[in-house]
Structure 1
């Protein structure tokens, strides 16, 4: 799908991958509703309209669509990029804790897909959802986060067979990215290897949309590793064991020494 001339909504636009996607999209002739809970760091210009929204809440997503349609007339591309992680050692049963991350990482993007279908009817449109490499590779310490990405990946792999000719649904699988993502997950949270720059992820995402790709892999290394893991499944176990050792060392410092 061509980017030029399109009306776009981008969630998670104030930081990380979303911030870089926003920068890259402004190179085109577009109108963008740039969404975040905190919009002070989002530019406001002839191409970008900042909009404050908590996408974990159905009512606020509904209001976002109403606002975007009022301002833009229609939404051609919706980037469901907002998301977050917990790095933690699960020590108690906490329903609200689980629900919090699933509302943002799973319910909101799927609900946005449904909203885009209803809003556009037979018009051509695209939805781009930021998934993650950890939807296919175990990452100890991030079990809740990984489970949300497994859920989104599962939805994407099935929904591809339910899309219509006028619909492009794309899923992005970034590896660990050099942002505040892991800092926000927990203090001094262990960062998995390998790591990629957010601007490279953004470039890959925009290029993938322009080429109508359903699955976008910003890291060529991961694309190769993913194939090798299918041929040699034990590779994932070795990687998970290495990350598990890192997690347990971190957990000992973060939990045991402060309990």
Structure 2
């Protein structure tokens, strides 16, 4: 198998799992360790991976990966997290859903809910819920980010300030090891911070790949989140912090509370 065939698959594995190892890739492709090391070096030189001991991880730059790439990244995991989250969302409430493919998955999982008022700065969420006859949808307005259908800026933030919703469900681009929620777009961060202030209760939906990524702008700490829905157990240190913060951690697909 040539490197032109291996390289895209290596990147897909890295996006799906957060990192790749030399040993694992050599076994997967049936090639030598030296061949894989050359592949990883080539991809690192192109800026598509970062070399670490024993393998490589996705680069921790200042720009998010494209929306279409994010949309097809871990879809089954995101759907499982979304179902676990939706199971904890009652009927007859006001709800905020922000920008992101994980919150879009939550919107799809709300098909059986009744009498929801959903405020969103995500055009994709609005389109998903447009056919939901028992759901009233309010779109914030704001500057349209054409890359992913997000609405950001002062208009979006000022619209959100007109509401005090029962529950906000937000996503993030990365999660730091100390529990900070991170993102790439400063304007989006400002809107997300306003959402948290204007919500009585807050949920975070983020898959395990977010723990292997980095982004430059801080939204908030997990301390500000009531329930965190994910698919992978937290480190012992972060699990202990969440316990001290009284942030519940629910691990999909079974929706079981993390008791660590």
- Same-fold call, TM cutoff 0.5: no
Structure showing greater relative contact order (alpha-carbon pairs closer than 8 Å, 6 or more residues apart) = 1
The bucket for the TM-score relative to the shorter chain is 0.3 to 0.5
TM-score, structure 1 as length reference = 0.41
More helix per residue: 1 or 2? Answer: 1
TM-score, structure 2 as length reference = 0.41
